[in-house]
Amino acid sequence: MSNGTTVSQPGITPAGLSWGESWGEWFDRHSRTFFIAPAVTLVLLFAIFPTFYTIVFAISHVRFSATGLKFRTVWFENFAAQFTGNEQVHFLGRFTSMSIAGSVFSLVTAGALLWWLYRAVVKGATWIGLAGRLISAAMAMFIALLFAATLLSGNQWGTLLNTLFYVVVGCSIQFVIGLMLAFLCSQPVIGKNFFRVLFFIPLMITPLGVGYAFKMILDVTKGPFKPFWQLVGLGNWAWSTDAWAARWFVILGDSWQWIPFIFIVLLAALENVPKDHVEAAQVDGASGFQIFREITWPQILPVAATVMLIRMIEAFKIVDLPNIMTAGGPGIATESMTLHSVFLWRANDMGDSAAVAYLLLILTVVVCSSFFNYVVLKRLRRARA
Amino acid sequence: MSGATYRISRDDRSFRQRLFEPPAVGKMSLLANLVASAILLFWSLFVLFPIYWVVITAFKNAETVNNGPFFIPFVDFQPTLKGWTAQFATDPYCDAYSVGRQLFLLVYNLFAFILSPIVKIEKMEPQICKVYLAYTNSFVISFGATALCIAVGSMAAYALARISYKPRFGNIVVFVLLALSAIVASNYFEVHWAISSSVALALFYLLARSLGRRFKSTLGNDDILFWIVSQRILPPIVVIIPVYMMFQSVGMIDTHLALIIVYAVANLPIVVWLMHDFFANLPVELEESAQLDGSSRFEIFWDIVLPLTRPGLAATTLLTLILNWNEYLFAIFLTTARAQTMPIMVAAKNTGERGILWWEMCAIIMIMIIPVIIMAVVLQRYIAKGVLLGGVKG
């Protein structure tokens, strides 16, 4: 402050501060604010504020009028419509009575979850930890029941399980193949650097282009595998009308794109594993598999858990591939929740669209934070201990 | 074996041994090497084939696409440029003049936008064929968004790595409550959004100044970092409807600026996360000595810190550029014609009366992905050096 008063009398100030310099000093004094304020403002304005605002849409029936949008508050009607109302078939799937396999599966899952909670209580978890486990367990039980009531009872499932299918099955496949390729590339093979560059490229190609490329390649009548399809007697097979084929082909395209991500990160982790540990084990006569399980795997586990978390977060947002390859079809068989929300928005049904988007947010947050808390953090702690 | 004593040890081994046992510690046996190479080669084929198929299909025509698969140009089929000329020849505005006009239009419209609160300037309408329009749009938007994102994100990351912040928990609660009440006021009580939000901001300023000192519990830098990075979990579909409404209320739908801002925010978490790691790993001593010499924080940041993290900065910039180039979901919502990006234009080609014209589609996909592939190859050099992988290990 003392500087401010002296600057107002030019010529007297010993340091000779001009107006510009004093302004610069003021700027510098508040630099703590100026450094972080733009980022915080942008995130508040374009991420936090819209997230809150979406609630308004999700609890209203929105209709267009001459003066703009008209909101009629219906509270949880939009959410209820997804679970029990007319959107149920789209979001959750079709239900009939539960089959025996479904009942057994639900009972086993319930037992496993109860055992997991019981162990947490016995080990003396904190109240917050316990509440978190209860939420995770409730979500897991709901998904298990849904799975049992739809697929295991021979019914079609909805966009919720589609999204989870892409996340769980897609990410698992990608992880296994990515790990295998990274392991091979970390060995002294010929042309290692060439493979590195090549395997990285699909990750960066526009997902939309990947969708079209796979749609074209998988075309039974014009695509490159036409002779193969004819050989196996599927010359006229329209896979886009077969729900499971379409789902697996979407996963194929997604894997082509995302295996490089897992590959590149795990390769870096594998190369950080100290060579002398591995070589000492080799001298002791350990087999390749033993070395991997006992030495390499524990060392890359923290990175592997983190990379899976990032991959899962991105997988929940999947929209381009199903939109391009199948447009969500046949029916809703390949529709992810994001695509579901986009379609509802196109139909000017903003309330339901926002409700589905919010359910996706809840699903993503619960699944990802469960994964983070029970898998990633545990591994990190174990690695540090 | 008895006569083999004079031989070198390598030939000492039987064929079986040579096949299954590694020649030395840290090497692979012959069989293992063969199997590994075979798998990697097979995977290379799997990776390359879709790209190869797109490339050759771009040089086919209706006949060679529809009459069954042809694999090798000049042997199986005669390549044509039909798919390529179709992009440019049919449209009257596909010449250098139109591109020049479009570039001028971008600058002109930017000025018109900046001056629009003061003087009313008619904006120019684009008069250019779709490919060039989408291409220039994609360039402007992805470069603009990357510049904004890197500038804002690296400053925040540096601040979080070096300056300690202590936001009061109570202030955050107050902010959230005021934001919610602003939403309620503008939505249910017909208050204009500009009034309600400025009243809420003013109230927040006053309350934070007066009440703020009483709140004791504070958060730390790690909390802010986690908060920013965790925004990546947020699915874009959750924010897109309100963002659309916000831009609509200020007349910014289908403008470059809207997409630039939204893309920048979407990629901010990645930039902050990666850059924070680079900054935190720099030695503090350099900055401290510069501070003793009287440099301001901005000078330190610009002259010392940023040059030191140049590889990391370059790699992050490339990654952000690629992500912005590929973005699809926001662009569907926020563009209609003038600010269409490449992915939107390509997706619009999907609807044809005669089905998809694959040769044209592949040509346009190639036009779309060539810059990305070049950038990916450059980015790969940084990744091979381990530049971007620090964050994952944490």
Q: Which residue has the tokens 């730390």?
A: B220
Inter-chain CB proximity B57 and A216 less than 8 Å:
yes
Distance from CA of B226 to the nearest CA of A (A): 12
Residue of A nearest to B66 (CA): A222
Segment (H or E) for A63? strand A60-65
Inter-chain CB proximity B376 and A200 less than 8 Å:
yes
> Do the Cβ atoms of B328 and B347 come closer than 8 Å?
yes
Distance from CA of A160 to the nearest CA of B (A): 14
Q: How far apart are CA B84 and CA A21, in angstroms?
A: 58
> Do the Cβ atoms of B394 and B320 come closer than 8 Å?
no
Q: How far is CA A248 from CA A93, A146, A205, A214, A321, in A?
A: 19, 20, 20, 12, 12
Residue A70 phi/psi, 5° resolution?
-110, 125
Q: Which amino acid is at B358?
A: W
> Do the Cβ atoms of A228 and A169 come closer than 8 Å?
no
B245 falls within a domain = yes
Lowest mean pLDDT among A36-45, A51-60, A298-307, B183-192: B183-192
B160 falls within a domain = yes
B44 falls within a domain = no
Indicate if B140 and B194 belong to the same structural domain. Answer: no
The pLDDT, as a whole number, for residue B42 is 92
Indicate if B160 and B173 belong to the same structural domain. Answer: no
Q: How far apart are CA B130 and CA A170, in angstroms?
A: 36
Inter-chain CB proximity A189 and B40 less than 8 Å:
yes
- Tokens found for residue A186: 């970390």
- Tokens found for residue B390: 């620090």
Report chain A residues whose CB lies below 8 A from the CB of B363: none
Query: Which among A40, A195, A200 has CB closest to B44?
Result: A195
Q: What percent of chain A has pLDDT over 90?
A: 29
The pLDDT, as a whole number, for residue A226 is 83
Q: Which of these, A287, A71, A111, lies nearest to B189 by C-alpha position?
A: A71
The pLDDT, as a whole number, for residue A12 is 45
The pLDDT, as a whole number, for residue A17 is 57
| Domain end residue (candidates: B184, B200, B215) | B215
Averaged pLDDT score across all residues of chain A: 85
Q: Tell me: the pLDDT tens digits for A122-173? A: 987 788 888 999 999 999 999 999 999 888 888 888 899 999 999 999 999 9
Inter-chain CB proximity B179 and A48 less than 8 Å:
yes
Indicate if B257 and B197 belong to the same structural domain. Answer: no
> Do the Cβ atoms of A294 and A278 come closer than 8 Å?
no
Q: How far is CA A373 from CA A102, A132, A381, B190, B389, in A?
A: 29, 9, 11, 43, 22
Indicate if B182 and B261 belong to the same structural domain. Answer: no
Inter-chain CB proximity A198 and B233 less than 8 Å:
no
Count helices and strands in chain B by DSSP H and E runs: 19, 0
Query: Which among A200, A358, A361 has CB closest to B383?
Result: A200
Report chain B residues whose CB lies below 8 A from the CB of A269: 389, 392-393
Inter-chain CB proximity A52 and B179 less than 8 Å:
yes
DSSP string, A305-340: HHHHHHHHHHHTT--HHHHHHTTT-STTTT--HHHH
Residues in B 78-117 with any Cβ partner in A closer than 8 A = none
How many other C-beta atoms are found inside a 10 Å radius of the C-beta of residue B180?
A: 16
The pLDDT, as a whole number, for residue B52 is 92
Query: Which among A36, A54, A224 has CB closest to B69?
Result: A224
DSSP string, B126-189: P-S-HHHHHHHHHHHHHHHHHHHHHHHHHHHHHHHHHS----BHHHHHHHHHHHHHHHHHHHHS
> Is residue A330 reached through a cis peptide bond, with omega within 30 degrees of 0 on the bond before it?
yes
The pLDDT, as a whole number, for residue A356 is 92
Q: Tell me: the pLDDT tens digits for A312-337? A: 999 999 998 998 888 887 888 899 99
Residue B124: how many CA atoms within 13 Å on its side-chain side? 15
Kindly tell me the burial class for residue A24, based on how many C-beta atoms sit within 10 Å of its own C-beta (0-12, 13-18, 19 or more).
middle
Task: Indicate whether A16 pLDDT > 60.
Answer: no
Indicate if B199 and B346 belong to the same structural domain. Answer: no
Which residues neighbour B295 within 8 Å (Cβ) at sequence distance 6 or greater? B303, B304
- Tokens found for residue A373: 């808390």
Hey, of B40, B158, B381, which one would you mutate to test binding to chain A, going by the most A CBs within 10 A of its CB?
Answer: B40
Q: How far apart are CA A62 and CA A352, in angstroms?
A: 9
Q: How far apart are CA A235 and CA A228, in angstroms?
A: 8
Indicate if B202 and B135 belong to the same structural domain. Answer: no
> Do the Cβ atoms of B290 and B300 come closer than 8 Å?
yes
| Domain end residue (candidates: B215, B245, B273) | B215
The pLDDT, as a whole number, for residue A5 is 41
Indicate if B205 and B323 belong to the same structural domain. Answer: no
> Do the Cβ atoms of A42 and B268 come closer than 8 Å?
yes
Inter-chain CB proximity A28 and B296 less than 8 Å:
yes
Query: Which among B156, B176, B245 has CB closest to A35?
Result: B156
Q: Which of these, B392, B257, B382, lies nearest to B322 by C-alpha position?
A: B382
B313 falls within a domain = yes
> Do the Cβ atoms of A158 and A328 come closer than 8 Å?
no
Indicate if B272 and B349 belong to the same structural domain. Answer: yes
B228 falls within a domain = yes
Residues of chain B with pLDDT under 50: 1-8, 394
Q: How far apart are CA B219 and CA A19, in angstroms?
A: 36
Q: Tell me: the pLDDT tens digits for A334-350? A: 999 999 999 998 888 88
> Do the Cβ atoms of B129 and B85 come closer than 8 Å?
no
CATH code for position B306: 1.10.3720.10
Indicate if B303 and B338 belong to the same structural domain. Answer: yes
Inter-chain CB proximity B332 and A73 less than 8 Å:
no
The pLDDT, as a whole number, for residue A168 is 94
Q: Tell me: the pLDDT tens digits for A359-378? A: 999 999 999 999 988 888 87
Q: Is residue B219 helix, strand or coil?
A: coil
> Do the Cβ atoms of B264 and A46 come closer than 8 Å?
no
> Do the Cβ atoms of A253 and A340 come closer than 8 Å?
no
Rg of chain A taking only CA atoms, in angstroms: 27
Indicate if B226 and B364 belong to the same structural domain. Answer: yes
Q: How far is CA A372 from CA A53, A136, A310, A367, B40, in A?
A: 27, 12, 10, 9, 32
Query: Which among B26, B51, B238 has CB closest to A357?
Result: B238
The pLDDT, as a whole number, for residue B5 is 47
B356 falls within a domain = yes
Indicate if B247 and B339 belong to the same structural domain. Answer: yes
Hey, of A34, A53, A380, which one would you mutate to test binding to chain B, going by the most B CBs within 10 A of its CB?
Answer: A53
Domain coverage including residue B296: 129-165+220-393
Q: How far apart are CA B95 and CA A370, in angstroms?
A: 55
Distance from CA of B91 to the nearest CA of A (A): 23
Q: Tell me: the pLDDT tens digits for A208-253? A: 999 999 988 888 888 888 888 888 877 778 787 888 889 999 999 9
Distance from CA of A44 to the nearest CA of B (A): 10
Indicate if B229 and B353 belong to the same structural domain. Answer: yes
User: What average pLDDT does the segment A50-61 reach?
Assistant: 89
Inter-chain CB proximity B53 and A316 less than 8 Å:
no
Question: How many residues does this entry show for chain A?
Answer: 385
Q: Which residue has the tokens 């390598």?
A: B10
User: What average pLDDT does the segment A18-27 reach?
Assistant: 72
Rounded to a whole number of angstroms, the distance between the first and last alpha carbons of chain B is 54
> Do the Cβ atoms of A256 and B46 come closer than 8 Å?
yes
Distance from CA of B211 to the nearest CA of A (A): 20
β-bridge mates for residue B101, sequence order = none
> Do the Cβ atoms of A158 and A91 come closer than 8 Å?
yes
The pLDDT, as a whole number, for residue A167 is 94
Q: How far apart are CA A224 and CA B50, in angstroms?
A: 10
B119 falls within a domain = no
Number of structural domains (chain B) is 2
β-bridge mates for residue A93, sequence order = A157
B149 falls within a domain = yes
Residue of B nearest to A369 (CA): B233
The pLDDT, as a whole number, for residue A365 is 93
Segment (H or E) for A70? strand A68-73
Q: Chain A to chain B, count of Cβ pairs less than 8 Å apart?
A: 289
Q: How far apart are CA B278 and CA A172, in angstroms?
A: 30
Q: Which amino acid is at B309?
A: T
The pLDDT, as a whole number, for residue A8 is 43
Inter-chain CB proximity A282 and B26 less than 8 Å:
yes
> Do the Cβ atoms of B291 and B337 come closer than 8 Å?
no
Query: Which among B238, B368, B389 has CB closest to A361?
Result: B238
| B373 close contact with A: CB closer than 8 A | yes
The angle subtended at Cα B228 by Cα A361 and Cα B184, nearest 5°, is 60
Q: Tell me: the pLDDT tens digits for B264-303? A: 999 999 999 989 888 888 888 888 888 888 888 888 888 8
